[in-house]
Amino acid sequence: MTDISHRDRLRFRLSRVYRRAGARLPELGTGGLVTVGEIILILKGEVIEGLVEGVPLWLLAGVALSLPIAAGWLARVFHRRRTPSPRPFPGRLPAPAALGDLIGRETEVKQVVDRARESGLAVVQGPIGMGTSSVAIRATWELADDANKQRYADVRGPDRDHPEAPLSVAQRVMRTLDRPPGAIQEPADATSHVIDALTGTRRVLLLDNVSTWSQVAWLPPRVPGAYIMVAGTVSGELPRHVKPVQLGPLSPDAGRELLARHISDERADRGREAVGLMVDACVGSPSEIVRIGRWLARNPRISLRALVDDLNRLPIDEKLGFVLNLSIKQLRPTAKQLLILLAGLPIAEVDHQAAAALLGLPSAKDAINELAELGLVENVRMTRVRVTSASRDAGARSTPSQAAAWRRLVGHFADQADAFAAQLPADDARNWFAIEDQVLLQVLARRNPVPKTGRALGRIADALEYWFRLEQRHEDRLRAAEALARAAKALRDENVQATAELRQCAILLTSGDPRKARHHLDQAAQLRVKVESWPAELHLEHAAILLAGGDEFTAVESALVHYGQALSGGDVAGHALRANNIAALLMRKGQQLDHGGWGPEARKLYRQARAVLFESLEKAQRAGDRGAEAHAEELLALADFYLGQLFDAGAHLRQAERLYTENADEIGRARCLVQRAGAMLEDPGHLPEEVAALLDDALDGLPPAGVSTALAHLHLARLRPENAAAHREAGLAALAPWDEIAERLQVLKLREYLRVL
C-alpha cells in the first residue's frame, strides 16, 4: 500500500467485501471492538509537525483521538437471545459428606496438613488415579472447615493433550480470589494479588489437577496467615523449598478393603484370594480398583475366581483393558454412543447439556450416570463430564454420525454463548464464561472443522470477543479471531473469514502493531465477498481502520454517516458512540488547521467537538455504557486542553480514569495516567519521583508496543537519567512495529526524541 492508486483500489475492494456481510449473516455480531486510543492516535502525529519546546510533549500521545468501537453493541446483538438458567460457580470445595472415607490415605492426609501448617505451602503429588485430589480436598477441610475460608481452582484445561498454560492458570486463580483476570499480563503479575487476597485470612487456596510445576511456579512460597495447596501429577523439577507428599499405590490391605466396599464384605470374604489378585492387577490404583468394584457390583453372578483366571492369562499391560472392554460391552446403546462421542471429541470435557446436544436428546443424565457408575467417565466441576484416561481409546474414527453430533454441539455452544453474552456483565454470565471460555476456544481451533458450522463458530467468536474484551484479555481476543479465520478459510466461508480478518486487524491496532494489522486488512480485501449492506458495527470499524491507515477524512466521514444510518433511533448507546467518533474527527481536523496556522478555525472545531461530547456523555450515561462514557470524558479532557481550559480538562481526565478503573479497562486507565503525568511535568510543583511512579504504574497496563508506551519511556528517561539508556531502548522497541513501513510524523518525532537521549 505504498502508492495512491493501490490504496484507492483497496478501499474500493473493502467496500465490496463487507457491504452485505450483515444481510447474509444477521446472527454474526461482526467487528473488532476498538475502544482504546492507541488504535488511531498512533497515526495522528502528522498534524503536530514543527513541535517546539513550548508545546507540552505529552500532547504527542494524542490520547483518545480514536474512533471507539465499544463493546456495547454486542449487548444489542445478543439481547434477543433466550435467557439460560444460572450456573453455580465452581470456586468452592465439595461438602464433607460428599468426600466419603479415604481408605489407606490417613497418614498422607496428616502429612499434607502438617506440611501446610509448617511452611504455608503443601504439594500433593502422584500419578493419575492415585487420589491426589481426594487427599488434598480432605486436608483442606482439616485446615479450614468453614466453606467461606476455602478457595478452589481446578486448573485442568479442556485440551487433554496439553496442560493449561501458566497465564491461564493464573487467570483462573485470580477469578477464584474475586480479582479481575485482565489485571495481569504475565503469570508473575498474579503473585502480589494472591498475597493481598489471602494474607491474614486463614483461607486455604487449593489448585487441583496441576500437571507441571511451571503452571504454578509464580505462586508465592508463603502467605502469612493463609495456606496454599497444590495437587496433581506436578511433573518437572520442584524448588528446594517445596517438599511434596508423594502418593504411591495403595497397600494390599487397603486395596482389598476398598474393593470389598463396592462388592460387599460377604462376597469379598468368599473370594479373598481372588480379591487380592484383582487388587494386584490394578497396581494399587484407587480409581482402577473402584472401577472394577463397580463393574463387579453390577454383575453379582460373575465368579471372582473365573475373572481372575481370565486376567492371569493376559499380559500385564492388557489386564486393565480387559475389564474396561467388559464394561463397554455391557453398556446400553445410548450410553455406549455417548462414550464413543465423548472419547472422540477434541475437547476433554463438556457439561451435561452439551452431552445431551451430542446425542440429540433432551437429557443425557441416565447415560452419564451409567458411564459414571462403571468409572468410564467422571463428573468434574459440578455438572461437567470427562472421559477417564483409561476410556480415551473408546472413540471411533470420524463418521457421519460424529459429524452430525459435532454440528449439534457447536450449535449448542453458539446458543449458550449468545444467551450468556446477553447477560454480561451479570455474575451468572461471568461464571458461565469463566468455566467455558477455554472450551469455546478449543471448539474454534478444531482441526478440519466440520462443514456447515461456520456461522455457529462465528457466533461463538462474537461472544468470546465480548467476554475477552470485558476482561481485557487481548491475547485471548486475538487467539479467538485467528482460530475463527482458520476455520472459516477451511470451510470456504468468506463472509465469516472477512469478519475474522477485520477483527484481527482491529485487535492488532489496539496492541500497537500496524504492520500485522495492515496484513490482515489486505487479507480481508482479497476476499471475493459480494455484499449489499453492512451491520452498523462494521461501518464503525471500517472508519477506524481507514483513519488508522491515514486515509482522507472524507472516507471516514462517509463511514460514520453509514454507521448512523444503520443504527435504530432507539439505540442510545450506538448514537453515543457515533457522537464520540464525530468529536474525535472534529479534533483531528482542528489539529490539521492548527498545524497550518489557522488557529481560530481550529478552536472553533474544538468547541464544536466539546458540544458534541457533552451530548455523547448524556447518551452514554442514559444507556449505561461505561466504556462510551469513559471515552467521552477522555476526549473532553483533550478538547479542554486544546482550548486552554486546564482545570476542566483535569476534572474530565480524573473522571475518565475512574470510569476506566471501574470498567476494568487497564489500557484506558494507563493512557489517562500518561496524560496526567504529562500535565504534572508542566507544573514545577510536582516531584520528579511522583511523576515517575505514575508512569511506572501506566507501563504496567499499556501494551508492549505503541505510542503511549514509547512516550512513557521517553518521560522516564528524562526523569531518571541514570536509566536513560534502558528507557531509550524500550521506547524504540515500542515503536518497532513501524519499522520498514510508512511512518507518520508522530512516530518520527518520538523516535527522534528517543534517539537523541
E strands present in 177-268: 204-212, 227-235, 245-246
d(C-alpha 536, C-alpha 70), whole Å = 12
Distance from first CA to last CA of the chain, Å, rounded? 33
Q: What is the pTM of this model?
A: 0.68
Higher pLDDT, 191 or 257: 191
Q: Are 670 and 698 in contact (CB under 8 A)?
A: yes
CATH number for position 177: 3.40.50.300
Residue 279 in this model has a pLDDT that exceeds 90:
no
Structure letter (DSSP) for residue 121: E
Can you give the pLDDT at residue 309? 76
Same structural domain for residues 58 and 191? no
Same structural domain for residues 230 and 114? yes
Can you give the pLDDT at residue 587? 82
Is residue 63 classed exposed, middle or buried when 0-12, 13-18 and 19+ CB atoms within 10 A define those classes? buried
Q: Are 431 and 87 in contact (CB under 8 A)?
A: yes
Same structural domain for residues 147 and 290? no
Can you give the pLDDT at residue 410? 95
d(C-alpha 604, C-alpha 585), whole Å = 13
d(C-alpha 666, C-alpha 108), whole Å = 44
Q: Are 416 and 432 in contact (CB under 8 A)?
A: yes
Can you give the pLDDT at residue 59? 38
- Tally DSSP H helices, then E strands, for the chain: 34, 8
Same structural domain for residues 130 and 257? no
**Which residues, in sequence order, are CB contacts of 691 under 8 Å at separation 6+?**
677, 680, 681, 715, 719
Cell of 485: 479465520
- Residue-wise pLDDT for 410-419, tens only, equals 999 999 999 9
Same structural domain for residues 235 and 300? no
Can you give the pLDDT at residue 41? 31
Unique residue bearing C-alpha cell 478457595:
151
Can you give the pLDDT at residue 164? 87
Answer whether residue 497 is part of any domain: no
Total count of domains within the chain: 3
Q: What radius of gyration do the chain's Cα atoms show?
A: 30
Q: Are 178 and 204 in contact (CB under 8 A)?
A: no
Residue type, 90: P
- Residue-wise pLDDT for 725-736, tens only, equals 999 999 988 888
Chain mean position to CA 685:
42
Chain mean position to CA 264:
48
d(C-alpha 650, C-alpha 636), whole Å = 10
Q: Is 624 left (phi over 0), alpha (psi -120 to 50) or beta?
A: left
Answer whether residue 491 is part of any domain: no
- Residue-wise pLDDT for 444-487, tens only, equals 999 889 999 999 999 999 999 989 888 878 888 999 999 999 99
Nearest to 581 by CA among 540, 638, 622, 629: 540
Answer whether residue 382 is part of any domain: no
Answer whether residue 736 is part of any domain: yes
CATH number for position 748: 1.25.40.10
- Residue-number span of the structural domain to which 169 is assigned: 105-246
Q: Is the peptide bond before 425 cis (omega within 30 degrees of 0)?
A: yes
- Residue-wise pLDDT for 310-338, tens only, equals 777 777 666 666 767 777 777 889 988 99
Per-chain mean pLDDT for the chain:
78
Cell of 576: 453515543
Same structural domain for residues 240 and 259? no
Can you give the pLDDT at residue 381? 62
Alpha helices in 375-493, H assignment, sequence order:
400-423, 427-444, 454-471, 474-491
Same structural domain for residues 175 and 260? no
Nearest to 663 by CA among 469, 474, 480: 469
Same structural domain for residues 692 and 724? yes
What percent of the chain is predicted at pLDDT more than 70? 77
d(C-alpha 585, C-alpha 6), whole Å = 25
Is residue 620 classed exposed, middle or buried when 0-12, 13-18 and 19+ CB atoms within 10 A define those classes? buried
Answer whether residue 440 is part of any domain: no
Can you give the pLDDT at residue 538? 59
Is residue 35 classed exposed, middle or buried when 0-12, 13-18 and 19+ CB atoms within 10 A define those classes? buried
Q: Are 124 and 135 in contact (CB under 8 A)?
A: yes
Answer whether residue 479 is part of any domain: no
Which of 212, 228, 246 delimits the end of a domain?
246
Which of 246, 267, 282 delimits the end of a domain?
246
Cell of 73: 453493541
Same structural domain for residues 213 and 256? no
- Residue-wise pLDDT for 492-546, tens only, equals 988 888 888 878 887 887 666 767 877 887 787 677 654 344 556 656 666 666 6
Helix axes 400-423, 454-471, angle to 10 degrees: 40
Answer whether residue 94 is part of any domain: no
Same structural domain for residues 257 and 148? no
Higher pLDDT, 123 or 91: 123
Same structural domain for residues 242 and 256? no
3-state secondary structure of 378: strand
- The mean pLDDT of 732-753, rounded to a whole number, is 73
Can you give the pLDDT at residue 94? 63
d(C-alpha 127, C-alpha 738), whole Å = 50
d(C-alpha 652, C-alpha 632), whole Å = 9
Can you give the pLDDT at residue 542? 65
- C-beta atoms surrounding 109 within 10 Å: 20
- Give residue 16's pLDDT band: very low, low, confident or very high (50, 70, 90): very low
Structure letter (DSSP) for residue 3: S
Same structural domain for residues 230 and 290? no
DSSP 605-627: HHHHHHHHHHHHHHHHHHHT-HH
Which of 329, 360, 395 delimits the end of a domain?
329
Answer whether residue 546 is part of any domain: no
Q: Which of 387-401, 551-565, 617-631, 691-705 has the lowest mean pLDDT?
A: 387-401
- Residue-wise pLDDT for 23-55, tens only, equals 222 222 222 222 223 322 322 332 223 322 333
Can you give the pLDDT at residue 119? 92
Q: Are 563 and 67 in contact (CB under 8 A)?
A: no
DSSP 632-656: HHHHHHHHHHHHT-HHHHHHHHHHH
